[in-house]
Amino acid sequence: MTPKTDQTTRGRGPTYASRAPAPAPLPTDAAHRNPGTPLELDWVRAARVNRSAVERRAATLGTRRSVKKEWQAAWLLRAVTLMDLTTLAGDDTEGRVRRLCGKARRPVREDLLDALGVPLDDVRVAAVCIYHQMIPAALEGLRGTDIPVAAVSTGFPHGLSPFETRLAEIRASVEAGAREIDIVITRRHVLLGDWETLYREVRAFREACGDAHMKAILATGELAMLRNVYQASLVCMMAGADFIKTSTGKEAVNATLPVGVTMARAIRAYAERTGHAVGFKPAGGIRTAKQALQWMILMKEELGTAWLSPERFRFGASSLLADIERQIEHHVTGRYSAFHRHPLA
């Protein structure tokens, strides 16, 4: 099912500082990776963000558009395919990871998909995200599928282990079979405006990833200002990040819509300037189907439909899946079910 918006709710264009122009055509080759560019310090240092305008823009995402009935069901099924189904707990076990992988293979109950006329194999998550130690269990649980394993790395969640240790951790995860690596940046480089050091760090991480796609986690809740978020986004993309990601999920403040608008605008600016498309991953605190729809609307309005694919957009999610499945059951049966009827694994 292809997501569509309710045509009766189309409104005027978004406002951002002054009225924002319609998004320019952006790269459409989903298989294209971001090779990075040389560091452009003048561009980074000249960046400005109007916080009040960003917050006004973010506030419209849940009010200007609504998605109802069969269109809502289609958007929610698409949201499932955009998930990095995640477990990053200190008490993770191999058994828990294998159960998570079982849910990744069949994220929505078969009877609900049958009622919607959707083939069972058309709905699967984008990836399973785990710690390095759990890669063998994840690979076992996903055997026979093409669902990639994503491993968090570089001293996750704080990124304060020795630099060579962080590089070795990336290489070990790639060698163990991870096809995606979620790295964390050193926040102090952003807070001190040390863009050269941040660029060299992320570039080294990118080289260590080899063929594995790299997601750069900014930990935006610890970056103090939206301008810092925008500048860090630019530097990480210049250094070759295939995705930029809001949060580890361990900060006091994780993914917020104003941060999402800021990072999406950075992605657009980078694509227009370089021709390279970069993905976006909000993570932490996204627990309801309503929130997922808001983030998807943000992507569609700011970057276009091409960013509603797992090659360009991911949710870092665990409990979100249960609420989405619950909303899909309501669409099919007309009744809301209890959360315990939709366990994660």
Phi, psi of 166, deg, nearest 5: -65, -40
149 has which bridge partners?
Answer: 128
> Tens digit of pLDDT for each residue in 291-330?
999 999 999 999 999 999 999 999 998 889 999 999 999 9
Check residue 22 and give its pLDDT.
41
Residues 257 and 295: their CA atoms lie apart, in Å, by 7
Mean pLDDT score of the chain: 90
**Sequence-distant (≥ 6) Cβ neighbours of residue 161 within 8 angstroms:** 154, 155, 169
Measured distance CA(318)–CA(337) in Å, rounded:
18
Active-site residues, by number, are 182, 245, 281
Tens-digit pLDDT profile for residues 242-276: 999 999 999 999 999 999 999 999 999 999 999 99
As a whole number of angstroms, the distance between CA 76 and CA 166 comes to 36
Instruction: Enter the pTM of the model.
Output: 0.90
Crossing angle between the packed helical segments 195-209 and 163-176, to the nearest 10 degrees:
30
Amino acid at 308: L
Q: What is the pLDDT of residues 79-131, one digit of tens each?
A: 999 999 999 999 999 999 999 999 999 999 999 999 999 998 899 999 999 99
Architecture of domain 35-341: Alpha-Beta Barrel (3.20)
